[in-house]
Chain A
Amino acid sequence: MSIEICDLVRHASDSRQVLLDHVSLEVPKGYFVALIGPSGAGKTTLLRAIAGLDPYDSGTISLDGRIVTDIQARAGKMGFVFQHYALFPHMSVAKNIAFGLNILPARSRPSRKEIAARVQELLDLMQIPDLGNAYPARLSGGQKQRVALARALATHPQVLLLDEPFGALDPIVRRSIRGWLRDLHDRLGLTTVLVTHDQEEALDVADRVVIMQEGRIVQNASPQCLDSHPATEFVMEFLGESVSFSGVIHNGQMIPDEKTAFPFAVPDSWENGPIIAMIRPYEINLLPPDRQTDEQTNRQIVKIEAIPRGFRNGYRHYTIQLKERTIPFFVAQDAEIPTQPNGVLVGIGLDVSRARLFRPNI
């Protein structure tokens, strides 16, 4: 089931603060979309609007091209998993999962046996086959998560909405349940919208990542595209650690203000003017002293040092002291780079040619 959101606007009830600012979004059938952004960006507000839990001032939401307004039109077609699971504390796990089926009017309700079979099927699918009789208070966070998911899936919905479902889980469970969820999405042919504030999670699991900021969608792209072509400085910053260099573009050359960063060629489409170059720490190259570029560019040789700061995720971390600030700098762990005995790297300049360029907002 595809979801189309058209020009959704919502103001906070007591102030004129805009919660959703003309949001339009299309989620094609079978896609796994992640909504990310800082707290207060409107991710959850948008998700709750899709579910019909929160009202909105204007705009439309349609499922498979049909506009839906009330929550009854969505009942059973959408599974929603709450941040804190919202399991019914007074019902056993099996009763929780069967809730969506048990409340159906008598003529469309499956028989008792069919419901029990469906519950067991879901428990097996969630890999918690023996928990049917337990009460939610006895479950661990990961188990509650699975029960909440099973309950949401009981009525065979085609859309799954997840509101920060991994927020309360520890990192190991989080990683395993994430992969398992993606697998489930593919197997059941669902259309999934996931809200998270963890960009790594979103990039890991989603087909498309929608970045929100102050009630607006800033960028809606695939994870690859998001990394290579971030729409704004905010997106670049939000997706991971980055270093920015301000400078100017002059005749097809980006000339950083800091002389330690070397100028580099940019495509001709960039016109002359001020520019900001942003780069990931692992994309920076430290130019070794034996290169003779300094003679060609008639620069003064300034020796710079990268001081080691340990290892993480297959990268050696360094910090480089520039004139007015310290920047991070990562080198792949297996890269062959001549180091001094104390581990310090020495260079004569920084190659930042892999940076993304942004026009500064004036």
Chain B
Amino acid sequence: MRQFFFALFQSGHKQILPGFRFSITATLLWTGFLIVFPLSTLLIKPWQDGFGTMLSALHDGRMFAALWFSFSCAILAAICNIPFGLMLAWALVRAQLPGQRIADALIDLPLALPTAVTGITLATLYSTHGWLGAPLSQLGITASYGRLGVILALMFVGLPFVVRAVEPVLRTLPHDLEEAAMLLGASPRQIFMRVILTPLLPALITGFGLSFARGIGEYGSVIFIAGNQPFKSEIAPLLIVVRLQEFDYTGATAVALILLAISLLALFLVGLIHRRFSLWNEPA
């Protein structure tokens, strides 16, 4: 699938790809109608009720609390996913373990699973009487209905992004780089930091960005485990639903607008850092 996409964009020679014009038209229409058009309405719609209403909608304390909650949880979850994702990718690529194929398939499960199923599962597991929640609450940690629960849920859905971003890069990292470093006298720690981790940085940043973007907008898997208390444990996507139920369309679109801006900004920053790091990959 991915190779097909690359072929479509890289080899624009008419001779090689039959129907290039047709496919480029289809692609442009597709992206136009399904992505650009809805997003531009989102940009225009909120201001139709007047500038003032929109500004007052944007000055909403509850909204900012929800946005901050979503934002901070997503960023923490994405940060936590980096080491775990790296370790998982490492195990998949380097270790020859029995059942590796099953583990490989299971990693994608959070992507395929309906988010509500994930949400209910996590909520029951981490509730104060759940299998994991009960021992945790004895230690004085309340996992569910708070920040920790949301972070756990977001880590669950974001992990595949990091693993799948890192894995192909790690797989193509030649083993003799490590041997060369070893012969030059590098310690195992130095080899890991300088020879393995650095080439993986662009992939890790991509994984982080995707995981974060997913976390910002995640709804189904979070609302069961989050407490959903306004100003305390309410996520931004839920606030949109709440506003819509109150027939406050301006308020809903205000939240949506900011979420959109954050997502775009995250993607932009990731692209920027990525480009800076990928300087070494440019051939002559």
Q: Which A residues have a C-beta under 8 Å from some C-beta of B? A: 51-53, 71-72, 74-76, 78-80, 82, 84, 86, 88-92, 99-100, 103-104, 135-139, 151-152, 154-155
Contacts and interface: CB of A to CB of B under 8 A. Distances in A.
A138 B284 contact: yes
Given A90-B198, A104-B185, A80 B180 contact: yes
A99 B280 contact: no
A317 to B, nearest CB: 41
B186 A103 contact: yes
Nearest to A83: B176
B179 interface: yes
Interface string B179-199: 111111111001000110011
The interface residues of chain A, by DSSP majority, are classed as loop
12 contacts: A53-B179, A74-B183, A86-B174, A88-B195, A89-B281, A90-B199, A90-B277, A90-B280, A103-B185, A103-B186, A136-B280, A155-B184
Contacts of A71: 182-183
B282 interface: yes
Interface string B258-284: 000000000000000000010111111
Nearest to B181: A99
Interface residues of B, number: 24
A54 B283 CA distance: 33
A53 B185 CA distance: 12
B177 interface: yes
Contacts of B282: 135, 137-138
B185 A84 contact: no
B199 A89 contact: yes
The 8 closest A-B pairs by CB, nearest first: A75-B185, A100-B184, A86-B176, A138-B284, A86-B180, A135-B280, A80-B183, A103-B186
Interface in B121-172: none
The interface residues of chain B, by DSSP majority, are classed as helix
A138 B282 CA distance: 7
A90 B180 CA distance: 14
B185 A86 contact: no
Contacts, number: 78
B281 A76 contact: no
Contacts of A88: 177, 180-181, 194-195, 199
A138 B177 CA distance: 18
A91 B176 contact: no
Nearest to A82: B176
Nearest to B277: A90
Nearest to A163: B176
B185 A137 contact: no
A88 B183 CA distance: 14
B96 to A, nearest CB: 12
Given A82-B176, A84-B174, A86-B179, A155 B185 contact: yes
